[in-house]
């Protein structure tokens, strides 16, 4: 049996938009093909999802979400002006 880890930037529940539906359908389709699919997703402040229907995600072998505070902080953005790194990437690290 093929084991797959699906990494996503949005938690796929509730099923509200196209990206979430695509994540959900990919995981479900892989499971129907005989794969063991586990899910690891970012739960960002913009797309925070604290509620989910367990039956929606029953096709996953294991589900884990990591809360990521990706809000733009004025002081951090200003300090980053003197850096050679992208602030858009830095706030996810």
Q: Give me the average pLDDT of each 10-residue run along the chain (93 residues).
A: 93 86 94 96 72 77 86 88 87 74
Q: What pLDDT does residue 67 have? A: 85
Q: Specify the residue for token string 């995981």.
A: 27
Could you tell me if 6 and 37 are in contact, meaning their C-beta atoms sit under 8 angstroms apart?
Answer: yes
Q: What pLDDT does residue 65 have? A: 86
CA distance 43 to 18: 17
CA-CA-CA-CA dihedral for 70, 53, 17, 37, to nearest 10: 80
92: Cα within 13 Å, side-chain hemisphere: 9
Q: What pLDDT does residue 47 have? A: 63
Q: What pLDDT does residue 51 have? A: 60
């Amino acid at each position: 049996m093929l084991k797959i880890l699906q990494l996503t930037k949005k938690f796929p529940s509730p099923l509200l938009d196209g990206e979430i539906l695509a994540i959900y359908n990919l995981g479900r389709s892989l499971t129907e093909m005989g794969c063991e699919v586990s899910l690891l997703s970012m739960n960002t402040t913009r797309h925070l999802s604290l509620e989910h229907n367990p039956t929606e995600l029953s096709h996953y072998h294991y589900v884990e979400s990591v809360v990521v505070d990706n809000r733009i902080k004025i002081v951090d953005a200003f300090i980053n002006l003197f850096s050679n790194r992208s602030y858009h990437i830095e706030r996810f690290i």
